[in-house]
Structure formats: structure tokens, C-alpha cells
Amino acid sequence: MAITREEVLHVARLARLSLSEAEVGRLRDQLDDILDYIRQLEALDTRDVIPTSHAVEMGTPFRDDAVRPFGDKEAILSNAPDRIGDFFRVPRIIED
């Protein structure tokens, strides 16, 4: 079950990665290798096994739904690559 060029491009679109021609080819080969190795899991019968999402069993922790002000707004905004006042500026979203 080899992965196709189209699948690589589809996954790259989902992941918002614009890949070069060379990267598409290389990733196709490498993903093939890695997925091929990973498929050894098919040999295991896991029909009656409950999946583990959290290795250390504990209940759902609760806390009060209370607002805690952060304070230093400028320390956050000053990291923005582009801003206008207190807003993050991005390229046009809707084309004319």
C-alpha cells in the first residue's frame, strides 16, 4: 500500500504546509518507509482491548470557573509579527 503523490499533497494542504517539489518526493518515500514499519501493529489482535488515552488513571479534575486577569497585555501583543494597536494584523482573508 504505497502512499501516492496526491495523498502527500492532500495531507500537506490539511497541515497548512506548502512543500517544494523535492520535499513532496522525499516525504513520499520517507512516509512510505515509516508507515510500512508502523503497519506491523496490524499483526496484533486488539479486538477486546480498551484504548489508553491517559497512562496514569485519575478522575476529571474540577476547578472554579473564575476569571483571573493576566495584566500584561503589551507583553503578549509585542510578540505579534504585525499589529495595529491592540489588534493582530493578517493578510486579506476575503479576496475582492
Partner 1 sequence: MHEWSLLDAARKVRGKDISSRELTRALLDRIERANPKINAYITVLHEKAMKDALACDEASARGQATGPLHGVPVGLKDIFCTRGIRTTCGSRILHDFLPPYDATVAEKIAASGAVLLGKQNMDEFAMGSSTETSHFGPARNPWATDRIPGGSSGGTAAAVAAGLCFAGVGTDTGGSIRQPASVCGVVGIKPTYGRVSRYGMIAFASSLDQGGPVARSVPDAAAVLAVIAGHDRRDSTSVDLPVPDYVAATGKDARGLKIGLPREYFEGEGLDPEVKAAVGKALAALVAQGAEAVEISLPHTSFALSAYYIIAPAEASSNLARYDGVRYGYRAKDAGGLIEMMSKTRAEGFGAEVKRRIMIGTYALSAGYYEAYYGKAQKVRTLIRRDFESAFAKADVILTPTTPTPAFRLGEKTEDPLRMYLSDIFTIPCNLAGIPGISVPCGMSPEGLPIGAQLLGNHFREEILLTAAAAIERAIPLPRVAPVEGT
Q: Which is nearer to partner 1, 75 or 84 (CB)?
A: 75
Position among 16, 65, 67, 85 found at the interface with partner 1 (CB under 8 A) = 16
Q: Where are the alpha helices (DSSP H) in the chain?
A: 5-14, 21-38, 73-77
Nearer residue to partner 1 within complex by CB, 61 or 85: 61
59 binds partner 1 (CB under 8 A): no
| Alpha carbon distance 2, 93 (integer Å) | 36
**Candidate residues 79, 84, 85, 96; the one interacting with partner 1 per rule CB under 8 A:** 79
Selection from 32, 3, 8 nearest residue 18 by Cα: 8
